[in-house]
Amino acid sequence: MSDVSTPKPSKQRSLWSDAFHDLRKRPTVIVSVVVLLVVFAIAFFPSLFTSVDYKQCDIALTKAGPVSGHPLGFDEFGCDLYSQAIYGAGPSIQLALMVVVITLLVGGFIGVLAGFYGRWVDAIFSRIVDIFSSVPFLLGSILLLAMFRDVDLPLISGQFELIIPAVLTLALFGWTNTMRLIRASVMEARSQDYVHAARSLGAADGRIMFRHILPNAMAPVVSLIPLSIGGLISAEATLSFLGLGIKPPSITWGIMISNGAGWFTGGYPRLLIVPSIFLIVTVLAFVLLGDAIRDALDPKLR
Amino acid sequence: MGRYVIRRLLQAVLTLSVVLFMLHYLMSLAIQINGNPVRTFFGDKPVSDELLQATMEKFNLDDPCLKSVGDPCWGMFTDRMQQWSHFDFGTDFQSVKIGDSIANAIPVTLTIFAITTVVWALFGVTAGVLAAMNRGRFIDYLVRIGTTFTLAIPGFLMLILVQNIFGVIIGNWFREQFGRESFLSLIFQPTYSAKAPFLSLVIPGIALGVFGIAGITRLSRTSMLENLRSDFVRTAKAKGLKRTRVTIVHTLRNSLIPVVTVIGFALGDALGGSVVLEGLYNIPGLGLLAFNGVKTNDTAVVIAVVALASVVFMVTNLIVDLFYAVLDPRIRYE
Amino acid sequence: MRTKRVMSAIAVAAIAGLVVSACGSGGDDAGSGSQELNLGLGEPKNLVPPNVGESEGGEVTRLVYSGLYTYNNDGSLKPVIAEGQPTSTDNKVWTIKLKSGWTFQNGEAIDANTFKKAWDYTVYGPNANSGSYFFNKITGFADTQSGADPDGDGPQKGAEPKAKELSGVKVVDPTTIQITLDTPWVVFPALLGYTAFYPTADACRAQIEACNEAPIGNGPFKFVGKWEHKTSIKLEKWSDYKGEQPSYQKLNFTIFTGSNNSQWAPFEAGSLDIAAPTPDKYESAKQKYGDRMIEADSPSTWSLGFPSYDNIYKDPKVRQAFSLAVDRQGIIDAIFTGRGKPLATFIPTMIPGYTEGTCATYCKTDPAAAKALLDSSTWPKGKKVELWINSGGTGEKILKAIGDQLAKNLGVEYEMKNIEWNDFLQKKQDHKLTGPFFTGWQPDYADSENYMGPLYYSGAKDGSDNDFGYYNADFQKLMDEGNAAPTIAEAHAKYTAAEKILTETLPVAPLYTGRTSTVIGDKIDFKSVDRNPILGGIDFVKIKLK
């Protein structure tokens, strides 16, 4: 990383643009960005990647090997494995993005409030965070999802209806991390000169919080976004594996892994390996990107 | 310090009571929404109302509040808390005393956690320290790549792979080569074995450790790097102290503080992971107990286990924070 | 072996063809002496005979207790404590003679009075014994039940039962019991071998909870220590047993409760002596242990239930179309690696009263006919099929495969509704399921009547008191005639005629019966293994160790 000391008009811009400058040159970043672009394309436009309908299954073709038009063969239900893996990307990615947006908004907002006002505001929210963090995440999710899996939600239909229960559950247990991080960095920023300056100029609390402090407090959270997307994709797969996520005939990598796990030593390792590779490569790309961003934003950790 | 501890304990009690009530409310809601779990005792068989009613009474699930969705069932909650105050945790659907179930499960889960902690301390911290001391060199990259991969493989998938590859494929090969009673055969078990309780927990414990090791390793590395740069290390070096002494006495000790915290937190996460782990390996620990409780809507079990988890979590946090003061003289509690 | 857990996570093992494994597979001390048999087991719910409702509890109680009768492999009664077969002149009053000299393991003597006291305890309403319904055709049963609850679910309890004793059971002399039924029923003796009719000691009933933890039995095995919940149950030979004694000393059950409660891996690891491979391991198991594998059809049946109460599924043509669209063999091959048998009847083969091919018309795969039937039915075009099932287990795979086939053969879209088991049972009973559902039946007793009467017979004209909302006057009439028939053969003829009606109107589409594949470890003398197709388990008393 080039020396940070080059004078720039504002500290904020220099940090971000330097980071960007740095990121662009790294091979891992380039590779993971390319992978993620492909994954997002797969998730949002699956029909570009396969013309086979993943719901069209012929049980007579159960576990059959690759044939022309079906490059990865078939799963135990006789569904095309490749198109299942392609269509399996969508729900996981959509879910992860939705959860990240919710946790950023909710956790960020509460974190700023708690960090800025301190005292009883902080005390109340910190206790709430304690409550959520003292219940093991997976147990809590299992409990919630088992209860609400069949509750009809108003106003939501189509594909989203399938992922909403999992989104809400993961968001419910996920916002506390964002909150803690933002709170800590807001507390740090609160006592800095530029905040005092803004205050003495008569800026309102709201303006100080969201215009001045937040952009600076975002750095630690930004580098965590790709990591948490990766983590959420894993979490979704775990819930699907436990039978609590999305239901068939919709498909996700977690369901595919769950169905394929037993066949691994039963003579058809392909049924586990294919979805595992899709899952691992995607999460790996997010992790690498996250690492790189964090390094770029906080060069001394490298 | 004393005041600080008291304040923290009060906070913990408050949090715990809210957690307990929330759990109670959630479980009651589950019954209100999904129907009385007693119904499942009879399966597909049509069951007479009398028998159903009598069975519900037997398991204390006949409170009418369980019929109206949203009712917080205060009566049931206070009854349970009163029972708890006499250290009576009730019985589960198999009429087993929950206190006994938990007492049997704790050593098993503790064994796993002990193995996991050893893995973290032994491999995680060492790798992090080595990487920091050889920053930018081969070892550093190796550690980085390794931790990245452990982050990228979801825990449950890793456990499935470990179970199939180490427990079944390699384990079966050992059993054919050396017999079923050999040391290696007992270690590489596909599921928990009551016959070799400790040995069959080693691999699952390590697997659970690998699952969380990235955080520990990276933190050790960062924290080590920061301290290597710090003034007191520079001073120590300037005084002409030996490199190993500087590393071990000055840097490592200070670098371990945040690592200890994270190990405390990570064990909380590990309890979540142990739900999947114990389910896959049929390990009779707390995770499996809770998981089965949730699956069968066995309220009394779920609340008891999660309450225990919360208490442990909060106590760990408190101890970790106090430990800080011991390790780092710069920290003082008001 | 009733229906208690038919669809529970553990019974899903049954779907997967593991019924026997619940009955037989492993402990953890293999190799430590040949006098020990190590088996696996799911956690039983209860071990007191009147309250045993599932195969796990049944497995243990059958070893620790002995009843009047047990079953031969053809389903006929084999006397144990009873002397000869039950006799009756009118099929209404049945007389059973007992052998004398039998005792419990605590020394208490067993005579006719023992049975009467045990049965009075079983049926008495407030005791909430799940086995009490076995007695509901015996005179006086209703009087032993609690009265209606005056305020529904309110705090007030129902009235005390009118009687503490079952008036239809009389002790004629210490070795003679007389049972009087409300109406003549020729099938009645078929019930007598079930655990609900097993005797319990006075000392056991006095402290029923302690007796559940450490049973006071009267069977070939006795408890060593207590029931170590979710861990193990250890039994040893009771040498004072008057019946057939085991040739070995100890039998250990290791209890499996994990989500992956397969006992196959521990079997391969040598800690269990008997186990069933999971479907995905079946092929490799067959290659490796083919000569030590027992494959047998199970008496439990699995079906696709239809909500006949629903406006759409009211039309039998829709039900027939769905049944014809399902490739049963294909599903069995794919999901169970061939371990199952397509059902073309409502009654499985080993059950007395079975007639071949009763459902030949609609229990086959014929996509063209299915499509034609659906088009000519009241089926609304574009309607999404909702398929209901309780979550967790192999059943979900079956239902997905069925959904795929409905999509492929009928061109309908489908959606899975996986809900919690208690929710599923409640919704099923309340007629709230809005589409076909997966349903299983394990027989209470070995007779064709048990596969029809309890399921499709309705006291109400709209079928509102069975889960399917099914009512058919001709079916009801034939069942009544069968129950009142003077001989078993005549009864079966009537039942078969009734079954024919079911196969035309399809309250459910019969799918398959499971096939269990059990591998016997090399510690066991394979020739000594005797599997009872009615009880669906291996006779562990007869097993000989090498």
Superfamily for domain range C44-256: Periplasmic binding protein-like II (3.40.190.10)
Q: Which of B294, B299, B317, B318 to mutate to test the interface with A (most CBs of A within 10 A)?
A: B294
**C159 DSSP 8-state letter:** P
Looking at residues A231-251, what average pLDDT do you find?
A: 83
Residue-range domain boundaries for chain C: 44-256, 298-514
Same domain membership, residue B125 and residue B59:
no
Confidence of residue B327 (pLDDT cuts 50, 70, 90): low
Looking at residues B51-65, what average pLDDT do you find?
A: 80
* CATH code: domain of residue B187: 1.10.3720
Is some CB atom of chain A closer than 8 A to the CB atom of C286?
Answer: no
Answer with the one of B85, B118, B136 that is the final residue of a domain.
Answer: B85
Same domain membership, residue B51 and residue B112:
no
Is some CB atom of chain B closer than 8 A to the CB atom of C8?
Answer: yes
Asked if the Cβ–Cβ distance from A135 to B306 is below 8 Å, we say yes
The CA distance from B302 to C201, in Å, is 35
- Residue-range definition of the domain harbouring residue B60: 2-85
Residue C54 burial (C-beta neighbours within 10 Å; 0-12, 13-18, 19+) = buried
Find out whether the peptide bond into B329 is cis, omega within 30 degrees of 0. Answer: no
Higher pLDDT, B239 or C113: C113
* pLDDT tens figures, C388-400: 988 766 788 899 9
- Answer whether residue B189 is part of any domain: yes
Answer with the one of B85, B118, B148 that is the final residue of a domain.
Answer: B85
Question: Which single residue is written with the structure tokens 């790294």?
Answer: A26
- Answer whether residue B334 is part of any domain: no
Contacts of A61 (CB under 8 A, 6+ apart): A74, A78
Q: For B159, name the nearest residue in chain A, comparing CA atoms only.
A: A261
Fold classified for C298-514: Dipeptide-binding Protein; domain 3 (3.10.105)
Q: How many domains does chain B have?
A: 2
B22: chain A residues, CB-CB within 8 Å = 131
Same domain membership, residue B123 and residue B251:
yes
Same domain membership, residue B116 and residue B18:
no
pLDDT beyond 80 at C465: no
* pLDDT tens figures, A133-165: 777 777 788 778 877 666 665 555 556 677 788
Residue A137's closest CA among B265, C257, B292?
Answer: B265
Quote the strand ranges of C43-184, DSSP E.
69-71, 77-79, 82-87, 93-98, 169-173, 176-180
Please report the domains of chain A, with CATH numbers, ordered by start residue. 19-49+88-301 (1.10.3720.10)
Same domain membership, residue B111 and residue B62:
no
Query: Of the ranges B110-119, C6-15, C184-193, C246-255, which one carries the lowest mean pLDDT score?
Result: C6-15
- Answer whether residue B231 is part of any domain: yes
The ipTM value here is 0.81
Q: For A149, name the nearest residue in chain B, comparing CA atoms only.
A: B34
- What is the SS3 assignment for chain B? CHHHHHHHHHHHHHHHHHHHHHHHHHHHHHHHHHCCHHHHHHCCCCCCHHHHHHHHHHCCCCCHHHHCCCCCCHHHHHHHHHHHHCCCCCECCCCCEHHHHHHHHHHHHHHHHHHHHHHHHHHHHHHHHHHHHCCCCHHHHHHHHHHHHHHHCCHHHHHHHHHHHHHHHHHHHHHHHHCCCCHHHHHCCCCCCCCCCCHHHHHHHHHHHHHHHHHHHHHHHHHHHHHHCCHHHHHHHHCCCCHHHHHHHHHHHHHHHHHHHHHHHHHHHHHHHHHHHHHHHCCCCHHHHHHHHHHCCCHHHHHHHHHHHHHHHHHHHHHHHHHHHHHCCCCCCC
* pLDDT tens figures, B151-201: 888 888 888 888 888 888 888 888 888 877 788 888 888 888 777 788 889
Same domain membership, residue B199 and residue B251:
yes
- Cβ–Cβ pairs < 8 A, chains A and C: 85
pLDDT beyond 80 at B45: no
Same domain membership, residue B290 and residue B167:
yes
C334: chain A residues, CB-CB within 8 Å = 59, 62-63, 76-78
Is some CB atom of chain C closer than 8 A to the CB atom of B46?
Answer: yes
The CA distance from B138 to C495, in Å, is 80
Residue C252's closest CA among C535, C33, C51, C69?
Answer: C33
- Answer whether residue B327 is part of any domain: no
Taking each helix axis from N to C end, the angle separating A119-133 and A159-190, rounded to the nearest 10 degrees, works out to 140
Is some CB atom of chain B closer than 8 A to the CB atom of C423?
Answer: yes
Same domain membership, residue B276 and residue B246:
yes
Same domain membership, residue B143 and residue B21:
no
Q: Which of A55, A61, A150, A258 to mutate to test the interface with C (most CBs of C within 10 A)?
A: A150
* pLDDT tens figures, A59-91: 888 888 888 888 888 888 888 889 889 998 988
Do the Cβ atoms of B267 and B121 come closer than 8 Å?
no
As given in the structure block, the two tokens for residue A79 are: 């569904």
As given in the structure block, the two tokens for residue B104 are: 């049997």
Q: Which of A120, A141, A142, A143 to mutate to test the interface with B (most CBs of B within 10 A)?
A: A143
- Answer whether residue B313 is part of any domain: no
- Cβ–Cβ pairs < 8 A, chains A and B: 124
Is some CB atom of chain B closer than 8 A to the CB atom of C311?
Answer: no
Is some CB atom of chain A closer than 8 A to the CB atom of C403?
Answer: yes
Q: Residue A158: CA atoms inside 13 Å, Cβ hemisphere, count?
A: 2
Q: Which chains touch B (3 or more CB pairs under 8 A)?
A: A, C
Same domain membership, residue B111 and residue B61:
no
Report in angstroms the alpha-carbon separations of B319 from B314, B333, C344.
9, 13, 66
pLDDT beyond 50 at A1: no
Asked if the Cβ–Cβ distance from B18 to A131 is below 8 Å, we say yes
Is some CB atom of chain B closer than 8 A to the CB atom of C268?
Answer: yes
B104: chain C residues, CB-CB within 8 Å = 231
Q: Min CA distance, B31 vs chain A (Å)?
A: 9
**C25 DSSP 8-state letter:** E
* pLDDT tens figures, B133-153: 888 888 888 898 888 888 888
Same domain membership, residue B203 and residue B114:
yes
Whole-number pLDDT of residue C519: 92
pLDDT beyond 60 at C311: yes
C419: chain B residues, CB-CB within 8 Å = 34
Residue B124's closest CA among B244, B206, B238, B53?
Answer: B206
As given in the structure block, the two tokens for residue B55 are: 């069975």
Same domain membership, residue B282 and residue B243:
yes
Mean pLDDT of the residues in chain B = 82
Contacts of B70 (CB under 8 A, 6+ apart): B29, B32
Q: Min CA distance, B171 vs chain C (Å)?
A: 8
Does C44-256 match C298-514 in CATH topology?
Answer: no
pLDDT beyond 60 at B332: no
Whole-number pLDDT of residue B61: 83
Pairing outcome for strands C414-419 and C385-390: parallel
- Answer whether residue B320 is part of any domain: no
Q: Min CA distance, B253 vs chain A (Å)?
A: 19
